[in-house]
Amino acid sequence: MRHKKNFRKKKKYPKEELPGIQVKVYNNNIEGALKLFKKKVKDSNLMLELKEKAYYQKPSEKRRERKSKAKLRAKYKRMKETNNF
């Protein structure tokens, strides 16, 4: 049985860094390009920022929210340690 040496999978398309959030469409593959675009938007946290900036939030409300999230994280961490969740 022979083994291939230095075998690497070839990439379909060249990886090219574009400024901002842009995606190139190859071979009229719009579904693939849309999938890549959605992944880039999700990774950049753009939608999260837009949601936060949609309305004004008082600093005290931000602090309260951060504290409650920290409490939840600690609660789930304790549950995971005790119950082997």
Query: Per residue in 28-77, pLDDT tens?
Result: 999 999 999 999 999 998 888 899 899 999 999 999 999 999 999 999 99
Distance, CA of 85 to CA of 79 (rounded, Å): 7
pLDDT, tens digit, 9 for 90 and up, residues 13-31: 666 777 788 888 989 999 9
The 3-state DSSP composition of the chain as helix, strand, coil percent (nearest 5) reads: 55, 0, 45
pTM for the model stands at 0.51
